[in-house]
Amino acid sequence: MSSVIHTDAKLEYTPEVAAATAELYERVRAVVPEVEWPVHAPYVDAIERLKAARGAVVLAHNYQTPEIFHGVADLVGDSLALAKQAAATDADVIVMCGVHFMAETAKMLSPDKTVLIPDLEAGCSLAASITGADVRLLRERYPGVPVVTYVNTSVEVKAESDICCTSSNAVEVVESLGADRVIFLPDEYLGRYVAGKTDVEVVLWQGHCEVHERFTAEDLRSYRDAYPGVQIYAHPECPPDVLAEADYVGSTSGLLRHVDATRPDRVVLVTECSMSDNVAVAYPEIEFIRPCNLCPHMKQITLPGIYAALRDLQHEVLVDPAVAARGRTAVERMLRVGRGAGG
């Protein structure tokens, strides 16, 4: 891998760049306005060249904007699935287009690879709601009660847990422990959803995703009034009254599968709104109503940031090897239970 990359100081929309990115733009023109493409295209072209020079792979979460998700990503999906796929590649460098805990998870599963995040300010309200010290205090309060931790957490928190889960396998993981009571961290609403699906007593933590907690049942009723016949599919990180109002509840990957299986004429995905833009590219016949709750942390990731990360190998994410090993054990226990994909 070269340690020095020489690039032009200014990226311009030249005829060569236009030609190189023309096929890509035809795929995304329904979700990326034509007036924006001359701004994005020089970065798309430059990032593709830098990836080849660096031996790099770009990972993009479903909540990234379309010019990233469709423009420069090699692997797309949910955080854990991305980290697992990246670990299986022969790339030297991983660029995580997501939030910080996702980059940590990628480093945890790929300790010998260089993991970069384009912006250090890309955090997460849910991951920030709990620390490893909090988990240790909970263990003191509830001695002997197993700790189930959602993958949307720091490696430090995973390391203090007995087992991890995703939103798609949370019920299965909880029931696999054979315990009468579990501590479920950190998403309160996902925990309440799980509690409603099992006889296991669930001890909750009051962590929330700032995107999903903003939706209300009244919002969903207003979509039905405004768009007759609309189908509403919601993520279980939403409040209970929202889930009760939805036609389907599922993880991010579950929402994608349900769209593909049902092919509704008109649908609302009650989650971060860039996901609708990204899914719409594959289903031009479906009308996606976009309730635009944006994740401010995901939107810290931009094409210029990705370009700079690759150019300068900047914002490397490091994890203490001992902590990573303990966190990896919690994830591996989950993978032995079942599906282990879908955030």
Domains of the chain and CATH, by start: 15-122+298-312 (3.40.50.10800), 127-209 (3.40.50.10800), 212-289 (3.40.50.10800)
Burial of 299 (0-12, 13-18, 19+ CB in 10 A): middle
Torsion from C-alpha of 243, 284, 230, 227, nearest 10 degrees: 120
Q: Is the per-residue pLDDT at 5 higher than 50?
A: no
Q: Which of 35-49, 78-92, 315-329 has the lowest mean pLDDT?
A: 78-92
Torsion from C-alpha of 167, 168, 169, 174, nearest 10 degrees: 40
- Please report the pLDDT score of residue 338 as a whole number: 61
Quick: pLDDT tens for 146-175: 999 999 999 999 999 999 999 999 999 999
- Please report the pLDDT score of residue 192 as a whole number: 98
Task: Using pLDDT thresholds of 50, 70 and 90, give the confidence band for residue 295.
Answer: very high
The alpha-helical segments, DSSP class H, found in 215-319 are 217-226, 240-245, 252-262, 274-280, 303-312
